[in-house]
Structure 1
């Protein structure tokens, strides 16, 4: 999927301004829960030249609904399939320059599938963490990905996204 930059002219109180924005089709991020634990993937991110612990996520394909994308991305990145999906929240990741709206989806009733990464995607291991372990990782700086931190905040504030440990 190729993303594109667009220029948008906006008339404001102090005059007309041109903004350069990333036109994005949207994305999904998954809180995959199994036995009270949440799946994280360890993914290499070239933009920051680092391996990051993250929840599985991906961009919507043209015409694809968020739940379809969630099923696809979960299996692609983790090798698990979800028996049930529930949207927990939706939010903008970087509204200062991008239209990307991310759908945070809880995946449950998991069963083994087949992992098959996209070209150029570098994902090491998949591990399962308790919410308590995730909070500790966040406090220690081991989680620095915004969508994963947002998911953790939802776990801490939302109803039973995963069993507290």
Structure 2
């Protein structure tokens, strides 16, 4: 069975009848699709199109590198692992190395893909490729001109406390913390 057939159930497929573009921005586009449902009726689906992103669980001396930055949709700062969107045609591995260096100043020649996952499949096609390195080396940051953040390092215990306190509230960073914890228990990245 091919990989793209694994998540197919033809009895549940929806056929796209038309697509109406609504908005095209720098990062996302929004469209409304009219679909034919399995029972023959039609419905609309609001879809956010996204180029994809990368995130890096980077460990330095058994501490996780994180960045704190303001997130406008939530009107507050968030503590997150380094991450960013893919440029058009960019290889996710190269993007992961780029984002790690740009946001933290650290670099690593040993990035390993942990997992790729969809952030909100009910309305968006954004996929995040989560990489890990336990060999992060310090260097120089290269932030974008509109990017303001602070870099710090957390122990596993501190990361769990940040989750409990709500300072870490995004899925990619929580997933990274849980993967790191599992690694400490098994010695393997899952």
TM-score, normalised on structure 1?
Answer: 0.89
Which has the bigger relative contact order, CA under 8 A and spacing at least 6?
A: 1
Give 1:25 deviation, angstroms.
1.3
Does residue 106 of structure 1 match 2:94?
no
SS across alignment from 1:81 = coil
Task: Give the Cα separation in 2 of the matches to 1:150 and 1:10.
Answer: 33
Is residue 40 of structure 1 aligned with residue 74 of structure 2? no
Answer with 150-159 or 95-104: which moved more. Answer: 150-159
- The structure in which a higher percent of residues are strand is 1
Name the SS for the 2:73 alignment partner: coil
Deviation at 1:161, TM superposition (A): 6.8
Q: Post-superposition shift, 1:92?
A: 0.6
Relative to total residues, which structure has the larger helix share, 1 or 2? Answer: 2
Offset of 1:4 from its aligned partner? 0.9
- What are structure 1's unaligned runs of at least 5 residues? none
Q: Distance in 1 between matches of 2:91 and 2:71?
A: 25
Query: Could you say what secondary structure the match of 2:54 adopts?
Result: strand
The structure 2 residue matched to 1:59, chosen from 85, 94, 108, is: 85
Matching residue of 1:22 = 48
RMSD: 1.8
What count of residue pairs does the alignment treat as equivalent? 161
**Structure 2 unaligned residues grouped into runs of 5+:** 1-25
TM-score (norm 2): 0.78
